[in-house]
Amino acid sequence: MLTATAYSLAVVLDLFVVLIGARFLLAPRPAADGYGVPAKENGDAAYLTVKGLRDTTFGIMGLALLAFAGAHAEGWFMLAVALAPFGDTLIVLRHGGTRATAFGIHFATAVVVLLSAGLLFAV
């Protein structure tokens, strides 16, 4: 039961971050709104593309680790990648986003990613 839960949560998180990345690549301005810091209309869209590529890469890397290296490697990956949503929390707070978005989306995501890492290490 623990193994199925650990693997399932990891796969869901990895796929979720791939979808977030794809959204930033395909619809960058609405994705930025959902992130918590709306993009300026005349701003440089390259930064939104960077975010999309980063997230897509994180998700694909997580899936590859889980498939080819196993739960322990994925656990270390999740532990390291939790820095991104913690950083996103600070970015939203420092750039005018709401506390609800910073903590309700980004900080909560970091906590779930750390929970996933813990489950993967326990398998």
The domain spans of the chain are: 2-122
Q: In the prediction, which pLDDT does 56 show?
A: 97
Residue 44 has pLDDT above 80, yes or no: no
- Which residues have C-beta within 8 Å of that of residue 53, sequence separation ≥ 6? 21, 25
Percent of the chain with pLDDT over 70: 100
Which residue from 46, 13, 6, 36 is spatially nearest to 101, judged by alpha carbons? 36
